[in-house]
Amino acid sequence: MANAGEVLSVLLLASSIAVLMLGFGVAFSLAAVGLLFAALGAALDVFEWRLLATLPGRYFSVMQNEVLVAVPLFIFMGTVLERSGIAEELLETAGRLFGRLRGGIAISVVLVGALFAASTGIVGAAVVTMGMISLPLMLRVGYDPRLASGTICASATLAQIIPPSTILIFVGDMLQAANSQAQLARGNMAPDPVSVGDLFFGALVPGLMLTGFYIVWIVILAFARPTACPPLPKLDEDTGALGRRVLRALLPPLILVIAVLGSILGGVATPTESAAVGAVAAMALAAARGQLGKSMLAGVVHTTARLSSMAFLLLFGASLFILVFRGLGGDVMVEQALKALPGGLHGAMAVVMALMFVLGFFLDPFEIIFIMVPIAGPTLITLGADPLWLGVMIGINLQTSFLTPPFGFSLFYLRSVAPPAVTTGHIYRGIAPFVLIQLIGLAMVWLMPPLATELPRRVFGY
């Protein structure tokens, strides 16, 4: 029979999810529910108050963590690109380049989404930018609103898995801690590190694979339902002018991608250092376009501070929640439950992935990783999961959560900028095939772990 601590830990988890679904502030909700159950646990003599004395040290170590410095830097870089008009010009040019093909505008949205992901890492910015620029054009040409909205939402979520991704930074940092905990439990006092750079390159192949799957689906649809994705009418622009326009629009983001990912790939910089390079490069590109004014820079700094503080405040609230959960013995209960499942590692992975997928219907990806990775990560690694493979699996799963109704954030971002002709029903039906593609991609990485592990091991030589 479960003891009082285990019962309280289950109630703590259920209560926190219920409170989050009611729409209360996430960081404060997690902290408040954690403190409430800490008091209940102390009253029942199953929780030690002195555990809370470790929180200041935990918070201080988070703020000293050099890896997490990359988060505000990547947010800054993405916001500069969004406000400088580089992304807008890239979308318009790609539409002209591919638009003469049936389904070409949708293909250009996918390709720009991948490039935008590799140069910003911010889903919201990608959805809003592509929704404001590409959606009206696709509707004007005669695209099915379902295909148009689904393509934009899915393409924007590539920023979740294609590096640099703020989600992957937090996942990598948490998996490092989970891996250390699991290896120490095995008696390994010197575990191999799992860096954010490893995870970036582990996610690169699956991210490009999903990009290819999106394009294949659009091509299939172009042949099966040509009226759903007609080509652009013939443009008067000559080939030379279009070529110059393509180079002018394509070179800036390519330079940025090379500066950020190339510095990591070449071993010249860590992800944090490459984020700093990217931030400076983004400002240089904006300055070259004459956009780096005082008002723009002030807006970029304000947005960066707001988004970064939201992420770190959520991390602080989740730290208190996890501390209380472990203090009540919840981590031991989860470990025992996962190890008791049939199928060993794959049985436990199936349950954790399914739970994350369902939670993605209601919760933000940050909320999911801050709760689930510290709870389930150590046990899955103890059961034999490669931390790098596990991190990529989590990233793809969380990418799917941005697309799943009723609360998929990508859907709401698009709804906020979509014209009245595009209904919520169009958006929900439009993302259905892309969610299926995501699940296929997740299954492929599950069955073929080298898709996630081979590239970083070849790059970093281990």
Give the per-residue pLDDT at 265.
67
Give the per-residue pLDDT at 305.
87
Mean pLDDT (whole number) for 40-54? 86
Amino acid at 393: M
Give the per-residue pLDDT at 217.
94
Above 90 in pLDDT, residue 461? no
Inter-residue contact 429 to 411 (CB < 8 Å):
no
Give the per-residue pLDDT at 28.
82
Residues 163 and 359: their CA atoms lie apart, in Å, by 24
Number of compact structural domains in the chain: 1
Residues 369 and 372: their CA atoms lie apart, in Å, by 5
Q: Is the peptide bond between 406 and the residue preceding it cis, with omega within 30 degrees of 0? A: yes
Q: Which has the closest alpha carbon to 10: 333, 380, 398?
A: 333
Mean pLDDT (whole number) for 174-178? 84
Q: Which residue has the higher pLDDT, 367 or 36?
A: 36
Q: What is the 3-state secondary structure (H, E, C) of 423-445?
A: CHHHHHHHHHHHHHHHHHHHHHH
Above 90 in pLDDT, residue 165? no
Give the per-residue pLDDT at 441.
93
Above 70 in pLDDT, residue 148? yes
- What separation, in Å, do the N-terminal and C-terminal C-alpha atoms of the chain show? 45
Above 90 in pLDDT, residue 315? no
Report pTM.
Answer: 0.83
Mean pLDDT (whole number) for 234-244? 65
Structure tokens belonging to residue 114: 């991948």
pLDDT > 70: percent of the chain? 91
Amino acid at 66: E
Work out the pLDDT band at 399, boundaries 50, 70, 90. Answer: confident
Give the per-residue pLDDT at 195.
79
Mean pLDDT (whole number) for 369-391? 87
Inter-residue contact 53 to 343 (CB < 8 Å):
no
Tens-place pLDDT, residues 123-139: 666 777 777 777 888 88
Work out the pLDDT band at 236, boundaries 50, 70, 90. Answer: low
Q: Which residue has the higher pLDDT, 81 or 297?
A: 297
Give the per-residue pLDDT at 134.
79
Do the domain assignments include residue 138? yes
- Which of the listed ranges 25-29, 124-128, 451-455 does the model predict with the highest average pLDDT? 451-455
Domain boundaries, position 216: 4-38+67-460
Give the per-residue pLDDT at 443.
93
Do the domain assignments include residue 53? no
Give the per-residue pLDDT at 436.
92
Assign 334 to helix, strand or coil. helix
Do the domain assignments include residue 127? yes
Q: Which residue has the higher pLDDT, 348 or 128?
A: 348
Do the domain assignments include residue 43? no
Interhelix angle 239-265/196-224, rounded to 10 degrees, is 150
pLDDT > 90: percent of the chain? 11
Do the domain assignments include residue 61? no
Above 50 in pLDDT, residue 247? yes
Mean pLDDT (whole number) for 326-355? 86
Give the per-residue pLDDT at 1.
42
Structure tokens belonging to residue 70: 């990359």
Give the per-residue pLDDT at 235.
59
Work out the pLDDT band at 433, boundaries 50, 70, 90. Answer: very high
Average pLDDT, the chain: 82
Do the domain assignments include residue 442? yes
Beta-carbon count within 10 A of 427 CB: 25
Above 90 in pLDDT, residue 393? yes
Do the domain assignments include residue 56? no
**Residue bearing tokens 């909700």:** 29
Tens-place pLDDT, residues 287-313: 887 777 788 888 888 888 887 888 788
Above 90 in pLDDT, residue 57? no
Do the domain assignments include residue 122? yes
Above 90 in pLDDT, residue 459? no
Inter-residue contact 117 to 207 (CB < 8 Å):
yes
- Which of the listed ranges 91-100, 285-294, 300-309, 408-417 does the model predict with the highest average pLDDT? 300-309
